[in-house]
Amino acid sequence: MNTWIAVGALALVGVLIPLGMMAVSALLRPTVPEQGKRSIYESGEIPTGTTRIRFNIQYYMVALLFLVFDIETVFIFPWTVIYSDAVAQVGLLHALGPMLVFIAVLVAALIWAWRNGAVQWIKSPESSKRSRLQ
């Protein structure tokens, strides 16, 4: 059997099961429309203002940087576990070289992000003036 048929079947099942569960729950659940269910609930407080709020992009930038540098540990940890055996088998340069290149790329990325202000919560007026002049 072709392996792509199995992948397609798995994808089809992965889509059909959640859709089927939502359809069955929509058919079986009780529906009692009333005004209280349609009102916005915010921890007992009366909602004020609009729901359209502009979030600072820095939250997302810091989250993405955290993910990138957190995934770094996923790659470094197994390397540290086998480092002493690798030095004994292939030598110091072949065992340490690729990891040093990997860490150098990450440090360069951190320096680039730092210089572009991705890790600053609030940009100072001086930095915005400087970036406009460049």
85-125: per-residue pLDDT in tens? 888 888 888 888 888 898 899 889 889 888 887 777 665 55
Q: Does the model's pTM come out above 0.85?
A: no
> What is the rounded distance in angstroms from the CA atom of residue 9 to the CA atom of residue 98?
39
* Residue listed under structure tokens 């790329």: 105
The answer to whether position 100 is within a domain reads: yes
Q: Could you give the C-alpha distances from 55 to 21, 40, 51, 60, 87, in angstroms and in order?
A: 34, 21, 12, 9, 49
The answer to whether position 130 is within a domain reads: no
The answer to whether position 30 is within a domain reads: no
> What is the rounded distance in angstroms from the CA atom of residue 14 to the CA atom of residue 19?
9
Q: Where are the alpha helices (DSSP H) in the chain?
A: 3-28, 35-38, 57-90, 92-115, 125-133
Residue 50 gets the label, from left (phi > 0), alpha (psi -120 to 50) or beta, of beta
Q: What angle do CA 81, 85, 89 make, to 5 degrees?
A: 145
pLDDT digits (tens, 9 = 90+) for 18-59: 999 999 999 998 877 777 767 766 677 776 777 777 777 777
The answer to whether position 74 is within a domain reads: yes
The answer to whether position 49 is within a domain reads: no
| Domain count of the fold of the chain | 1
The answer to whether position 38 is within a domain reads: no
The answer to whether position 46 is within a domain reads: no
**Domain extent at residue 78:** 57-125
The answer to whether position 67 is within a domain reads: yes
The pair phi, psi for residue 42, each rounded to 5°, is -130, 70
